[in-house]
Amino acid sequence: MFPEALSFKDVLLVPQRSGIRTRRDADVSGRFSTGIALKTPLVSANMDTVTESATAIAMARLGGLGIVHRFLTIGEEVGEVLKVKRAENIVIDSPYVVRRSDTVAEARRVMRECEVGGLLVVDGAGRLEGVVTDRDVRFVEDGTLPVRRVMSTQLVTARPGVPLEAARRLLGRHKIEKLPLVDKGGKLKGLITAKDILKRQRFPDASKDRRGHLLVGAAVGVIGDYLERARALQDAGADVLVMDVAHGHAEHAIAALRRIKKACPSAEVVAGNVATYAGARDLVRAGADGVKVGVGPGATCSTRVVSGHGVPQLSAVLDCARLTRTTGVPICADGGIRDSGDLAKALAAGASCAMIGSLFAGTDESPGWTIVREGMRYKVYRGMASLGATLGRRQKEGARLPDNDEVSEVVPEGVESMVPYRGRIAEVVHQLVGGLRSGLSYSGARDLKSFQRKAKFVRITAAGWAESIPRKGVIS
Ligand code: XMP
């Protein structure tokens, strides 16, 4: 008859003899693409109710990654990427500056617009002359006063290339917030801030590029402005482009991937979505640096109901992961993760990371408002192929909103829903990663590679699953 396909709740992992004494010994580092390693193998979905800059910043600080969705104008999506890239630095190469003759009102405006608490003052040749902070201007009533009247000129500086530890000591010893870097001629060459150093200490696992900026990904489509968008996102510093299409194994999607790789040859591109080895293989042949696996498992997906197509997610991951073993290109299990047990099974089956939508949609960082219903807090979560998201995208593209007849012509493959409010994303990530570490320890695995080698699945019945979940209410 037909081949069988299974999903997460059809199986369990068999506990094995384990030398892991504490969960902390389990290393869960994974990979999103050949060039993007993650200490936390979790990626927030490119959905308009999941990832804009706030989610992406939080995810990268926690060692994961956020993918900014594409239902934005190119300028807006670029803006979200820039916010992430500017959120943290080792050295700020081009600090915000003013001139000594500029007014206090002008300095206040720059600080407000650039969301910084201080500016460096330079002369026409770029030589550092002083520092003006919000404290210097806070109570100045006459906004026409020149900056030179309020700036501090007692400066502590360092040379470019100063070791971070030496910079930290200087900031501490002089109780200052900003350490400008100047060359022998006194020219301003960069800035190190106390804030950035503290963030480094607070988030030691953060996903960062070579210059100390947080990693971020951004989605592009496969029709319309996608090449222009891909170039703009790459120029803005996006570390990975994610080709966002429901059926990634379509010839036009493969052709679009080739064009993106040609237009942005140095960009990492993760392509998808596919549900078969053949699909993953064809995307890798077309240049994909990572493949997203999942057709229809997501919490808001109706693709399987509408089109009758899809592959239960565990089998899809097992099938596609054969490609990682032969080519080294990682796959990302996208959709259907409801708890940390599903995450453990997806990674044991061969995924190098997982993409999450619904579990992150209810957090403080996700875009959108909190709703209160009968005393419970919720946030809106909608599929990107839902009617609401589709109409929203068309509106962004400048199209007129369709009338009722045209609306009924749209065939949505996703639904609009609500998810419980879950607090800060860090708490959700903590629970998922804690469960995953526990999963590694039950299999006696120290890292994901050995987890995938050792993992033994058993197929279970509905009674087996019913036995597995805690019983609700009063237990009789
Ligand atoms: P979870 O289960 O984590 O899944 O909420 C997130 C993933 O769902 C996919 N997605 C969709 N799939 N119709 C679909 O068939 C949709 O409208 C839709 N929106 C999102 C996507 O892969 C996401 O990462």
Ligand 1 centroid – CA 441 distance (Å): 30
Q: Residues 32, 353: contact at Cβ < 8 Å? A: yes
Mean pLDDT computed over every residue of the chain: 93
Q: Residues 444, 454: contact at Cβ < 8 Å? A: yes
Q: What is the C-alpha to C-alpha distance for residues 400 and 19, in angstroms, rounded to an integer?
A: 62
pLDDT in tens, 372-416: 988 999 999 999 888 888 887 777 776 665 666 666 777 888 888
Q: Which residue has the higher pLDDT, 233 or 197?
A: 233
* 413 Cα nearest atom in ligand 1: 13
Ligand 1 centroid – CA 280 distance (Å): 18
Instruction: Give the per-residue pLDDT at 394.
Output: 76
34's CB contacts (< 8 A; 6+ apart) are 268, 289, 290, 328, 329, 330
Q: Any alpha helices (H) in 86-224, and if so which ranges?
A: 104-114, 134-137, 164-173, 194-202
DSSP assignment of 343-357, as one string?
Answer: HHHHHHTT-SEEEES
> Collapsing DSSP states into helix, strand and coil, what is residue 291?
strand
97-193 CATH: 3.10.580.10
Instruction: Give the per-residue pLDDT at 402.
Output: 60
413 lines ligand 1 (CB under 6 A): yes
Written as six digits, the tokens of 41 are 């193998």
What is the average per-residue pLDDT within 437-466?
96
* 414 Cα nearest atom in ligand 1: 17
| 8-87+206-468 shares its CATH topology with 97-193 | no
> Collapsing DSSP states into helix, strand and coil, what is residue 119?
strand
> Between the CA atoms of 340, 341, 345 and 346, what dihedral angle is there, to the nearest 10 degrees?
-30
Instruction: Give the per-residue pLDDT at 471.
Output: 86
User: Using CA positions, which residue lies closest to atom 8 of ligand 1?
Assistant: 298
pLDDT in tens, 219-267: 999 999 999 999 999 999 999 999 999 999 999 999 999 999 999 999 9
272 lines ligand 1 (CB under 6 A): no
Written as six digits, the tokens of 36 are 């993007």
300 lines ligand 1 (CB under 6 A): yes
Q: What is the C-alpha to C-alpha distance for residues 136 and 129, in angstroms, rounded to an integer?
A: 15
Q: Is the pLDDT of residue 207 over 80?
A: yes
Q: What amino acid is encoded at 91 in this protein?
A: V
46's CB contacts (< 8 A; 6+ apart) are 67, 68, 69, 70, 217, 218, 219, 242, 244, 384
Say how many CA atoms lie within 13 Å of 20 toward its Cβ.
Answer: 22
Ligand 1 centroid – CA 13 distance (Å): 25
Instruction: Give the per-residue pLDDT at 399.
Output: 64
Instruction: Give the per-residue pLDDT at 290.
Output: 98
Q: For the chain, what are the domain ranges? A: 8-87+206-468, 97-193
Q: What is the C-alpha to C-alpha distance for residues 22 and 309, in angstroms, rounded to an integer?
A: 42
183's CB contacts (< 8 A; 6+ apart) are 159, 160, 189
Closest by CA to 258, choosing from 246, 271, 245, is 271
User: Using CA positions, which residue lies closest to atom 3 of ligand 1?
Assistant: 357
DSSP state of 473: S
342 lines ligand 1 (CB under 6 A): no
341 lines ligand 1 (CB under 6 A): no
303 lines ligand 1 (CB under 6 A): yes
- Which position among 114, 264, 301, 332 bears the catalytic label? 301
Residue written as token pair 């960082």: 365
Instruction: Give the per-residue pLDDT at 270.
Output: 98
- Among 59-73, 182-196, 320-334, 424-438, which stretch is predicted with the lowest mean pLDDT? 182-196
DSSP assignment of 392-428, as one string?
Answer: HHHHHTTPPPP-HHHHTT---SB-EEEEE--B-HHHH
Ligand 1 centroid – CA 307 distance (Å): 15
Q: Residues 329, 289: contact at Cβ < 8 Å? A: yes
Q: What is the C-alpha to C-alpha distance for residues 440 and 233, in angstroms, rounded to an integer?
A: 36
- Among 137-151, 247-261, 280-294, which stretch is predicted with the lowest mean pLDDT? 137-151
* 358 Cα nearest atom in ligand 1: 5
* 273 Cα nearest atom in ligand 1: 22
What is the average per-residue pLDDT within 333-358?
98
Q: What is the C-alpha to C-alpha distance for residues 186 and 126, in angstroms, rounded to an integer?
A: 8
* 303 Cα nearest atom in ligand 1: 15
Ligand 1 centroid – CA 300 distance (Å): 6
Q: What amino acid is encoded at 68 in this protein?
A: V
Q: Residues 401, 394: contact at Cβ < 8 Å? A: yes
Instruction: Give the per-residue pLDDT at 271.
Output: 98
What is the average per-residue pLDDT within 15-23?
90
Instruction: Give the per-residue pLDDT at 405.
Output: 62
**Does the annotation mark 301 as catalytic?**
yes
Ligand 1 centroid – CA 468 distance (Å): 26
Confidence grade of residue 114 (pLDDT, cut at 50, 70, 90):
confident
| Mutational test site, ligand 1, from 51, 301, 428, max ligand atoms within 8 Å of CB | 301
For residues 286-323, b (16+ Cβ closer than 10 Å) or e, as one string? bebbbbbbbbbbbbbbbbeeeeeebbbbbbbbbbbbeb
Q: Is the pLDDT of residue 432 over 80?
A: yes
% pLDDT > 70, the chain: 98
Instruction: Give the per-residue pLDDT at 113.
Output: 86
What is the average per-residue pLDDT within 111-123?
90
334 lines ligand 1 (CB under 6 A): yes
Burial (CB < 10 A; 0-12, 13-18, 19+), residue 210, is exposed
Instruction: Give the per-residue pLDDT at 404.
Output: 66
> How wide is the angle at C-alpha 379 spanned by C-alphas 40 and 346, nearest 5°?
30
356 lines ligand 1 (CB under 6 A): yes
267 lines ligand 1 (CB under 6 A): no
Q: What is the pTM of this model?
A: 0.89
8-87+206-468 CATH: 3.20.20.70
Q: Is the pLDDT of residue 472 over 90?
A: no
Three-state secondary structure string covering 46-71: CCCCCCCHHHHHHHHHCCCEEEECCC
